[in-house]
Structure 1
Amino acid sequence: MSNELWRLSAVDLARHIASREISCRDAVASCLARLEDVNPRINAVTEVLADEAMRAAAEADAALACGQPVGPLHGVPVTIKVNVDQAGCATTNGVGAYRETLATEDSPVVANLRKAGAIVIGRNNAPAFSMRWFTDNALHGRTINPYDATRTPGGSSGGAAAAVAAGMGPLAHGNDLGGSIRYPAYACGVAGLRPSQGRVPAFNPSQARERTFGTSLTSMQGPIARTVADLRLALAAMSAADARDPWWTPAPLDAPPGNSKAGVKVAVCTTLPGYRADPAVAAAVAQAAQWLQQAGYVVEEAAPPRFSEAADLWLALIMNETRVSMRQAVETDGDDVVQRAFGSMYRLAPELDLVGYMDALSQRSNLLRDWLAFFAQYPLLLMPVSWQLPFPVDADQQGDAAMRDILDAQSPLLAPAILGLPGLSVPTGMAGSTPMGVQLVAGRFQEALCLRAGEAIERRAGWSGLAELKA
């Protein structure tokens, strides 16, 4: 049985370990064996920490044997994205020039996972600077989608999603500035949660300077898993307080009374004027709406307010900040593919002067006010993750027109992100050879609403989220 433990969810592993039905060493060894078997085929994990993980597992078993109190993830294997600090590892962010940038202490999200008892078995891949929806870089190489090698595994947390889908641990850490958790989860047939702004503390001790203001409001740390229950468990661990993040907010994790059970109103948005939805995407949203209705939710067709404005604001605000904070680094240290992708996004984004930047931040507040009023009427929004199926590999290398199409397709990811809202990507099954899923969005700190509805969809979809990858 021990060689099949990699198939278990984080919830099941944690329960069996806590009751001492299985050992932490067996759980970690099983996931490491699975990693050794399948990672050479998909390149999801760039650094394997086998010796360190087995030592930590032995210490975790000793703690259990002594009757010491244990955390909710005690002995559960996880992988960490290469763009956050983990003591003793290089925070490469997929960039060759940073291969020697060894972190001396853990970032808050890594520290919180360790405090909950999780055992880090490896570092998962990302594109250079974690700024593409495609996971490939000159330093670590390309991550392959476990279901379809011709399509992206998503990005920038493509390594995280591919690792979870292939069974290299039940949980992975990712982060989401413009869909970098939700999109890889969608592309790889797993579940991914982008928390609210302020929910999970973030900080890289190795960073030379603070993140820019708009990025701080937009980029979130969160979990990727094969089940929604595992996301809930991981979120509770990740969101513990850390004084290093001044944006962290002590908001309750549970849904407020009256918004936590069936009967919640759900706005369903299958299509919007100006956007072209793939028929399989529209069908998945319609099916998920039917499943929610069967579960007791009140489902109505309704579109979020000023959707295009919010998506356009993401491009304007984030790309103008990166022009100042990252452009020189990308041009100096970036590989060819990230330079081409950045070049297209820069050319498509309007250039803002100081007044324009201030107006953009004011517009964000105005848009968020309208979206929160919408959520007062419809506590949940069901919509696509992307208007299109996962893109063919390197679709962002085809010039500015192709990038414009990509940005339009990704608008369901961009609009909630720029407003700091939570979003859950949950799989619904397959569309041919490609995984398919939907997105649930809610008001600030309402992750519990997304997770509860996601579980209702998950139960009816009957999807395992596990790519066997048999030889």
Structure 2
Amino acid sequence: MPSRWALHEEALAAADEADRALARGDAVRPLFGVPATTKVNVDQAGCPTDDGVVEYKSRMASRDNPLVANMRASGMIIVGRTNVPAFSIGWFTDNDLHGLTRNPWNKDRTCGGSSGGAASATAAGIGAIGQGSDIAGSVRFPAYCCGLVGLRPTYGRIPRFNFTTTGRRKVSTALMSVPGSLTRTVRDARAALAAMSVGSPYDNRWVDVPLEGPPVKKPMRVAMVIDPAGRGGVAPEVAEAIRQAAGWLTDAGYIVEEIAPPEFGAVIDLWPRLAMGDTIGDAASVAEYGDDATRTWVDLCLEVFSGCGPEDMVEAMVERDRLLSLWQLFFEQRPLILTHSCAEPAFRLGRLVDVPSFQDVMRAQSTELAVPVLGLPSITVPTGVANGLPVGVQLIAGRYREDLCLEAAEEIEARAGVRTPIDPR
């Protein structure tokens, strides 16, 4: 198993070679020399794909995941691996193998999960691009917690395949989990998307679709949703961030209307119906190899969503098809949705202890559940700082319209500015 020092030396060697290439006048690749990090649940040759689980600490990868290969091919220099909750489950990045990763803005708040290590490292300036993955907000929530740009692309946009995985891909993973990026700027998110989305035959989900879609009617209409499905619990500073972003988009020439897409609540509620069949299947592995935090998460999930299971997945898939059609028609008139990424500021550590706290967190994460259900692209972009913690908004678009998310996010960023807890220069 390579030590952290071996990875350190590997990164320095790559940087030295980059310097020599510049001195020779060689042609450089798009992200030549850019420092980046990878998540410990993706294969990187010579490293364990441990997923934050003690039992998997020796599960060595002999080849790069296509996603990691794409990062290297673009010229990125991988400077390290980033932490996750055990099994990449949950909103707090802590496990018995690597320990607790803290939020660089406030050590008593979560850095998010499951790509919390990527978020904390990127916010602290350790790398410019943090590779993450998202099945229920695992890119967008950590980005929100740490004041970053978090891009979740469309299902099928970025290829991914772990050679260390011997079993079949689970239904919910195949349907909802996608790789993404965490960056300090929208420009970097755009560059990371272009680099990561190069196709691979190893992922049968990958679709060859241009990064720029057809022109949309201008001025573009944006649907603003402050309280999805009217479920409450939206913190005042979060509601104000959405209204402020709406004003900035209006200033940029968008038409912002306070209107919700069809049956937002039904889309949110589909997530457990699609995921619980797999979660129940994973319960034995978590019980045997998981840590206390992961077992608590699964136990609470099973209790709160006891009515969801494998027998409900077929009906849930039929319902998903119906709702996706309604949303796609909605995007024809309003190509973007502006809403929250999380209804609260970054959660306090130790927040998740019982059924009521689990339900509160799930309600706060409602929009982050809806997006994977329909396989849509979305982006979290910071709008400022409130009470010492980052706040921001989320933009959601129709399938393969990451370009619309990025374009609007750039307008917000131009007015909000870029803030980091630590000057990365």
In the superposition, the TM-score normalised over structure 2's length comes to: 0.96
What is the aligned partner in structure 2 of residue 108 from structure 1?
A: 66
Question: Which whole-Å deviations, capped at 9, do the CAs of 1:80-124 have from their partners, x for residues lacking one?
Answer: 001000000001100011110110100011000001011100001
What is the aligned partner in structure 2 of residue 282 from structure 1?
A: 239
What is the aligned partner in structure 1 of residue 398 from structure 2?
A: 443
Post-superposition shift, 1:274? 2.1
What is the aligned partner in structure 2 of residue 60 from structure 1?
A: 18
Q: Which amino acid aligns with 1:131?
A: I
**Structure 2 residue 122 is matched with structure 1 residue 164:** yes
Post-superposition shift, 1:375? 0.9
- Extract unaligned runs of 5+ from structure 1: 1-44
Query: CA contact under 8 A between 2:185 and 2:418: conserved in structure 1?
Result: no
- Extract unaligned runs of 5+ from structure 2: none
Post-superposition shift, 1:349? 1.4
**Structure 2 residue 324 is matched with structure 1 residue 368:** yes
Query: CA contact under 8 A between 1:47 and 1:122: conserved in structure 2?
Result: no
Q: Distance in 2 between matches of 1:231 and 1:297?
A: 22
What is the aligned partner in structure 1 of residue 335 from structure 2?
A: 379
Query: CA contact under 8 A between 1:344 and 1:400: conserved in structure 2?
Result: yes
Structure-2 change in CA distance of 1:354 and 1:143 (3 Å): closer
What is the aligned partner in structure 1 of residue 265 from structure 2?
A: 308
Post-superposition shift, 1:468? 4.1
Which of 393, 416, 420 is the aligned partner of 2:375? 420
Q: Distance in 1 between matches of 2:364 and 2:112?
A: 13
SS at match of 2:112: coil
Deviates more, 1:78-87 or 1:344-353: 344-353
Q: Which amino acid aligns with 1:253?
A: L
**Structure 2 residue 93 is matched with structure 1 residue 135:** yes
**Structure 2 residue 407 is matched with structure 1 residue 452:** yes
**Structure 2 residue 256 is matched with structure 1 residue 299:** yes
Post-superposition shift, 1:466? 4.6
Post-superposition shift, 1:412? 0.9
Which of 356, 363, 366 is the aligned partner of 1:401? 356
**Structure 2 residue 190 is matched with structure 1 residue 190:** no
Post-superposition shift, 1:170? 1.0
Query: CA contact under 8 A between 1:189 and 1:435: conserved in structure 2?
Result: yes
Question: Which whole-Å deviations, capped at 9, do the CAs of 1:170-219 have from their partners, x for residues lacking one?
Answer: 11100000000000000001111000000000111100212212321111
Q: Which amino acid aligns with 2:204?
A: P
Post-superposition shift, 1:370? 1.1
Structure-2 change in CA distance of 1:302 and 1:149 (3 Å): same
Q: Distance in 1 between matches of 2:269 and 2:197?
A: 29
Query: CA contact under 8 A between 1:48 and 1:123: conserved in structure 2?
Result: no
Q: Distance in 2 between matches of 1:130 and 1:178?
A: 11
Q: Distance in 1 between matches of 2:5 and 2:196?
A: 22
Q: Distance in 2 between matches of 1:434 and 1:213?
A: 36
Post-superposition shift, 1:227? 0.1
Post-superposition shift, 1:128? 0.3
Q: Which amino acid aligns with 1:306?
A: E
Query: CA contact under 8 A between 1:48 and 1:121: conserved in structure 2?
Result: no
Q: Distance in 2 between matches of 1:351 and 1:48?
A: 48
Q: Which amino acid aligns with 2:113?
A: G
SS at match of 2:237: helix
Structure-2 change in CA distance of 1:47 and 1:459 (3 Å): farther
Structure-2 change in CA distance of 1:376 and 1:258 (3 Å): closer
Query: CA contact under 8 A between 2:273 and 2:309: conserved in structure 1?
Result: no
Post-superposition shift, 1:320? 1.6
Q: Which amino acid aligns with 1:407?
A: M
Q: Which amino acid aligns with 1:458?
A: E
Mapping of 1:347-366 within 5 angstroms? 347-352=303-308, 355-366=311-322
Q: Distance in 1 between matches of 2:279 and 2:158?
A: 23
Post-superposition shift, 1:316? 2.0
CA RMSD, Structure 1 to Structure 2 (Å): 1.8
Q: Which amino acid aligns with 2:77?
A: I
Query: CA contact under 8 A between 2:123 and 2:420: conserved in structure 1?
Result: yes
What is the aligned partner in structure 1 of residue 135 from structure 2?
A: 177
Query: CA contact under 8 A between 2:277 and 2:309: conserved in structure 1?
Result: no
Query: CA contact under 8 A between 2:137 and 2:368: conserved in structure 1?
Result: yes
Structure-2 change in CA distance of 1:123 and 1:354 (3 Å): closer
Query: CA contact under 8 A between 1:80 and 1:174: conserved in structure 2?
Result: yes
Post-superposition shift, 1:221? 0.3
**Structure 2 residue 365 is matched with structure 1 residue 410:** yes
Query: CA contact under 8 A between 2:176 and 2:375: conserved in structure 1?
Result: yes
Deviates more, 1:212-221 or 1:286-295: 212-221
Post-superposition shift, 1:62? 3.1
**Structure 2 residue 256 is matched with structure 1 residue 323:** no
Identity across aligned pairs (percent)?
45
Query: CA contact under 8 A between 1:79 and 1:122: conserved in structure 2?
Result: yes
Count of aligned positions: 422
SS at match of 2:106: coil
SS at match of 2:107: coil
Q: Distance in 2 between matches of 1:158 and 1:206?
A: 22
Which of 382, 392, 398 is the aligned partner of 2:348? 392
**Structure 2 residue 419 is matched with structure 1 residue 464:** yes
**Structure 2 residue 194 is matched with structure 1 residue 236:** yes
Query: CA contact under 8 A between 2:37 and 2:80: conserved in structure 1?
Result: yes
Query: CA contact under 8 A between 1:177 and 1:219: conserved in structure 2?
Result: yes
**Structure 2 residue 181 is matched with structure 1 residue 219:** no
Question: Which whole-Å deviations, capped at 9, do the CAs of 1:367-410 have from their partners, x for residues lacking one?
Answer: 111111111111000000011121111212x1111101111110
Q: Distance in 1 between matches of 2:181 and 2:373?
A: 19
Query: CA contact under 8 A between 1:83 and 1:93: conserved in structure 2?
Result: yes
Q: Distance in 1 between matches of 2:320 and 2:209?
A: 22
Q: Distance in 2 between matches of 1:330 and 1:47?
A: 31
Q: Distance in 2 between matches of 1:156 and 1:48?
A: 25
